[in-house]
Amino acid sequence: MTARIGVYPGTFDPVTLGHMDIIRRGAKLVDRLVIGVTTNPSKSPMFTIEERMATVRREVAEVDGDIEVVAFDSLLMDFAERQGAKVIVRGLRAVADFEYEYQMAGMNQQINPRVETVFLMADVALQPIASRLVKEIALYGGNIAKFVPESVREEVVARVEKIGRKGS
């Protein structure tokens, strides 16, 4: 029997408690979960891809399951094919996420119909968390402890101190 491989793609800039929830739950659905760390050209990353990969690797080290962290810079469906994946795992927070993800899933199905997209609803307590908002809160000196693992909070605070807080 061949292993069921899933891909959970994202920028993970920074990795949040919401991401970690989807990773834990997604790892239970497949034999191997590949976390694909990428750069979105429409986003301004706070951390390099190497830093994000190291952070994700550290944070998933204690998660049950066969989990691998891989960088990619290609179409998601091409990356999924190279990984041998049959499933794309995506997290949904709200209706706005659904509309975007539904459109992406449809496009991805047209590109590679051999790979299915599976949506996992974010835990209710974690639904408002978005990396973009975490960065914005941190840049204005707000407390992000409720949104990211402690070691990630420390990294974000250190980076903000390095680049300078806004509004000060």
Tell me whether residue 131 is one of the annotated catalytic residues. yes
Q: Known binder of ligand: residue 88?
A: no
Tell me whether residue 93 is one of the annotated catalytic residues. yes
Q: Known binder of ligand: residue 12?
A: yes
Q: Which of 43, 146, 165, 166 is catalytic?
A: 43
Q: Provide the 3-class DSSP secondary structure of residue 37.
A: strand
The whole-angstrom separation of Cα 162 and Cα 155 is 11
Q: Known binder of ligand: residue 101?
A: yes
Handedness of CA 7, 128, 156, 59 (dihedral sign): negative
Q: Provide the 3-class DSSP secondary structure of residue 8.
A: strand
CB 143 within 8 A of CB 150: no
The whole-angstrom separation of Cα 106 and Cα 110 is 6
DSSP structure string for 77-138: HHHHHHHT-SEEEEEE-SHHHHHHHHHHHHHHHHH-TTSEEEEEEPPGGGTT--HHHHHHHH
Tell me whether residue 146 is one of the annotated catalytic residues. no
Q: Known binder of ligand: residue 5?
A: no
Q: Known binder of ligand: residue 11?
A: yes
Q: Which of 24, 57, 58, 93 is catalytic?
A: 93
Q: Known binder of ligand: residue 90?
A: yes
Q: Known binder of ligand: residue 44?
A: no
Q: Which of 52, 131, 135, 153 is catalytic?
A: 131
Q: Known binder of ligand: residue 130?
A: yes
Q: Known binder of ligand: residue 150?
A: no
Sequence ranges of the binding site for substrate: 11, 43, 76, 90
Sequence ranges of the binding site: 11-12, 19, 43, 76, 90-93, 101, 126-132
Sequence ranges of the binding site for ATP: 11-12, 19, 91-93, 101, 126-132
Q: Which residues are catalytic?
A: 19, 43, 93, 131
